[in-house]
Amino acid sequence: MTGEIQAEAQRSPEEDVTLLELLDRVLDKGVVLSGDITLSVTDVDLIFVGLRVLLSSVEAARRQRGEGAGG
Amino acid sequence: MVYVYAIFEPSGKRFDTLHGVGDAPAYVQLSDGIGVAWSEVAGAVARPTPDNVWRHEQVVEAIMRAHAVLPVRFGTVLRDVDALDALVERNRERLCEGLRRVRDCVELGVRVLLPNEAGTASEVPDDSSGRAYLLARLREEQARRDHETFARETAARLHAQFSSRAADSTLRVFPNPPFLMAGAYLVPRDRTDEFRRCVTAAGEAEPSLRLLCTGPWPPYHFVPELALPEVQRA
């Protein structure tokens, strides 16, 4: 369903939101089997800094493309 | 060590060979009506690279195609298969109930954005006096509160529509633009088209909003809380 995650420059705004939704789920939800999940911190910081930039650019990109709101 | 992807209800169907994080093969462990998918990994540290996250999701979705599945959080590494077995046994009832709850359902996500001009940088007044500054701050604060009220009321209205077409749901409301809300909905597989039509219709009825429906996801938001072993100190 999600397909491969394209390099950032190649992703559409829709794919950006899908990636956000995916990361939100796998990193923050799901069954917790261990009180102790160790994530490599540098990678996580890079992903979330990237996403903050992405999120503010999603709507900017839509406005630029002249897309209407809704749907 | 053992990296865990998902807990599922075995059906006797065979799996294609699955490869998970670090391209390691994913194995299936069956224990009296509960299946677990896992891979052998060298260490306890998981790197949430796009590739590893995608592979984790790929294993879960492959299982989801034909089984009730409870996805496990990314990065879950246990000492060994015995530790995994012990966890499953300890939580057998909760897991069976959890699987029953999500059987024949998928998770759909709805994210609502308010594309807006306000809520970003406030206007810079020509008058740079303290009074002008305070007025600008008051305007900002009022705009923030207006947005919060609007977000809460809009989210409640939309969520009521969507959750009426779902077996279960969760809602998160955001205080700051551009996001307004994010909802997760546990929807029977044969009702997903109807659900998506409802989201599209809601988007058309609210031209100031942008609604994005994603999925089908494994039911990440609808998993049980398990009893975990006490932490053992060496």
DSSP string across chain B: -EEEEEEE---SPPPPPEE-GGGPEEEEEE-SS-EEEEEE-S-SEE---HHHHHHHHHHHHHHHTTS-EEEBPTT-EES-HHHHHHHHHHTHHHHHHHHHHHTTEEEEEEEEE---STTSSPPPPS--SHHHHHHHHHHHHHHHHHHHHHHHHHHHHHHHHHHTTSSEEEEEE-SSSSEEEEEEEEEEGGGHHHHHHHHHHHHHH-TT-EEEEEEEEP-GGG-PPPPPPPPPP-
Domain termination site, one of B103, B128, B159: B103
Whether residue A42 has pLDDT greater than 70:
no
Per residue in B9-68, pLDDT (tens digit) is 988 777 777 888 888 888 887 778 899 999 998 887 778 877 888 899 999 999 999 899
If asked whether residues B119 and B45 sit together in one domain, one would say no
CB spacing of B115 vs A43 below 8 angstroms: no
Whether residue A50 has pLDDT greater than 80:
no
If asked whether residues B110 and B85 sit together in one domain, one would say no
Across the interface, which of A19, A23, A31 has its CB nearest the CB of B223?
A31
Q: Tell me, what CATH number does B109's domain have?
A: 3.30.70
Across the interface, which of A32, A43, A70 has its CB nearest the CB of B47?
A43
CB spacing of B51 vs A23 below 8 angstroms: no
- pLDDT for res B129: 82
Please indicate, yes or no, if residue B227 is contained in any of the structural domains. no
If asked whether residues B94 and B114 sit together in one domain, one would say no
If asked whether residues B109 and B212 sit together in one domain, one would say yes
Please indicate, yes or no, if residue B233 is contained in any of the structural domains. no
- pLDDT for res B119: 46
Please indicate, yes or no, if residue B118 is contained in any of the structural domains. yes
Higher pLDDT, A47 or B4: B4
If asked whether residues B73 and B51 sit together in one domain, one would say yes
If asked whether residues B31 and B112 sit together in one domain, one would say no
Q: Which chain A residue lies closest to B71 (C-alpha atoms)? A: A30
Per residue in B211-234, pLDDT (tens digit) is 999 999 999 999 999 998 866 544
Higher pLDDT, B180 or A18: B180
- pLDDT for res B21: 86
CB spacing of A17 vs B72 below 8 angstroms: no
Count of domains in chain B? 2
Report the alpha-carbon angle A33-A37-A42, nearest 5: 155
Whether residue B106 has pLDDT greater than 90:
yes
Across the interface, which of A18, A38, A47 has its CB nearest the CB of B45?
A38
Whether residue B204 has pLDDT greater than 80:
yes
If asked whether residues B139 and B211 sit together in one domain, one would say yes
If asked whether residues B117 and B188 sit together in one domain, one would say yes
List the beta bridge partners of residue B46.
Answer: A39
If asked whether residues B93 and B135 sit together in one domain, one would say no
Average pLDDT over residues B93-104: 97
Please report, in angstroms and rounded to a whole number, the separation of the first and last CA atoms in chain B. Answer: 17
If asked whether residues B135 and B155 sit together in one domain, one would say yes
Please indicate, yes or no, if residue B136 is contained in any of the structural domains. yes
Please indicate, yes or no, if residue B110 is contained in any of the structural domains. yes
Whether residue B208 has pLDDT greater than 70:
yes
If asked whether residues B95 and B111 sit together in one domain, one would say no
Whether residue A69 has pLDDT greater than 60:
no
Domain housing B81 = 2-103
Average pLDDT over residues B177-199: 95
Please indicate, yes or no, if residue B224 is contained in any of the structural domains. no
If asked whether residues B116 and B172 sit together in one domain, one would say yes
CB spacing of A30 vs B209 below 8 angstroms: no
User: Residue B78 — φ and ψ, nearest 5°?
Assistant: -110, 165
Please indicate, yes or no, if residue B159 is contained in any of the structural domains. yes
Of residues B75, B182, B181, the one with CA closest to residue A44: B75
Across the interface, which of A4, A27, A33 has its CB nearest the CB of B54?
A4
What is the identity of the amino acid at A33? L
Please indicate, yes or no, if residue B138 is contained in any of the structural domains. yes
Q: Which chain B residue lies closest to A60 (C-alpha atoms)? A: B115
CA distance A62 to chain B (A): 9
Average pLDDT, chain B: 89
Average pLDDT over residues B154-169: 97
Higher pLDDT, B122 or A25: A25
CB B70 within 8 A of CB B98: yes
Interface test with B, best of A25, A39, A42 (most B CBs within 10 A): A25
